[in-house]
Amino acid sequence: MFHCNGWCFPWTLAAIGGTNVCLRRVDPEVILGLIRQHRVSHYCGAPIVHAMIADAAIAAGEPIEHKVSGLIAGAAPPASVLERMEKLGVELTHVYGLTETYGPASVCAKQEGWDQRPLEERVRLNGRQGVTYPLQESIAVLDPTTLAPVPADGETVGEIMFRGNIVMKGYLRNEAATQEAFAGGWFHSGDLAVVEADGYIKIRDRLKDVIISGGENISSLEVEEILQRHEDVELAAVVAMMDAKWGEVPAAFVQLRPGSELSEDALIRFCKENISRFKVPKKVIFGPLPTTPTGKIQKFLLRKQLEASLSA
């Protein structure tokens, strides 16, 4: 309950007389056992938590036999995670928000007929950041300079901005940061996104995580999505690496599934087969990825690790 008050679940459950099942730490085997024992109907988790649950269920060969609904947030959900959870029988709904806007602040509300689409299409539709939550006055994707709304063409990139009475008042004792964050009367999220034809938004990357290589913008999320399609990849994060010729190039940090012997060359070949060559990581570093208690990958630590490895 320490982060955004458990996504409102403790208060909602109190209001309806429900039961909270609490954990000391994230342990997928324990989570699966408790879901079966208590017939848990709803839970929340970052993509890495859902991925761990899916892996544990597949390894145990014991599907969940009752309906379970989950919220996924904290990072853009990889299609592979949404697909595996659906096959497991867990219905995920993607929500999105920031500490400054409270969370969730938007929801990928499922529309009639989506459940009749092919799995690949359902995963794409459900992986978007969605539409305005009832408590939020407005969410828009705007040009960060002019504050003009971007067209709903699924291509024009803008910054997600929020407005409403559950958005924070400002940063404590930091008036300069507050003024910058609320320039133009909107809270600037720092997330870059497009608006699709049906009005749903889709994050392309964090503003600070975009890799500019030879004048071309590379979305770290897009590269991470490709990496996590490989069956041996458990978790992936992509950051910018300085390059004398191109300015910046992608570097990947990859956490492999237990027992995997996947090599850097093999993973790079896989990427070349699935993504434009200029977006392919030029370096892959294998090992466990640092995460917060809520499952977010701490990219600032990876940048420090990369810098240290290059200067060694």
- Tens digit of each residue's pLDDT (9 = 90 or more) over 28-44: 999 999 999 999 999 98
Look at residue 274 and tell me whether its pLDDT is greater than 70: yes
Percent above pLDDT 90 for the chain: 60
Mean pLDDT of the chain: 90
In this prediction, residue 2 carries a pLDDT of: 61
Q: Are 248 and 240 in contact (CB under 8 A)?
A: yes
- Dihedral of CA 71/74/78/79: which sign? positive
What is the reported pLDDT for 206?
87
Q: Is the pLDDT of residue 4 over 70?
A: no
Residue 164: band (very low, low, confident or very high) from pLDDT cuts 50, 70, 90: very high
Bigger pLDDT: 74 or 183?
183
Asked if the model's pLDDT at residue 71 lies above 80, the reply is yes
> Does residue 94 have a pLDDT over 80?
yes
Q: Can you list the domains of the chain with their CATH numbers?
A: 4-132 (3.40.50.980), 138-206 (2.30.38.10), 210-311 (3.30.300.30)
> Is the confidence at residue 3, as pLDDT, over 70?
no
Parallel, antiparallel or unpaired: strands 247-256 and 283-286: parallel
Q: Kindly report the pTM of this predicted structure.
A: 0.82
Backbone phi, then psi, for 62, in 5-degree steps? -125, 100
Task: Give me the percent of the chain exceeding a pLDDT of 70.
Answer: 97
The 10s digit of each residue's pLDDT in 216-272 is 889 898 899 899 999 999 899 999 999 988 999 999 999 999 899 999 999 999 999
Please state, in angstroms and as integers, the Cα–Cα distance from residue 301 to each residue in 78, 221, 280, 306, following that order: 21, 17, 22, 9
Q: pLDDT grade, residue 26 (50/70/90)?
A: confident
Looking only at Cα atoms, what is the longest distance across the chain?
61
Tokens representing 174?
């930091």
CA distances from 94 to 60, 200, 284 (A): 26, 12, 29
- According to DSSP H, which parts of 61-111 are helical? 79-88
Q: What is the pLDDT of residue 273?
A: 95
Mean pLDDT computed over 152-172:
94
Name, in order, each residue with C-beta under 8 angstroms of 31's C-beta and a sequence gap of 6 or more: 23, 43, 53, 56
Model pLDDT, residue 122: 87
Question: What are residue 132's DSSP bridge partners?
Answer: 106
Residue range 46-66: mean pLDDT, rounded: 86
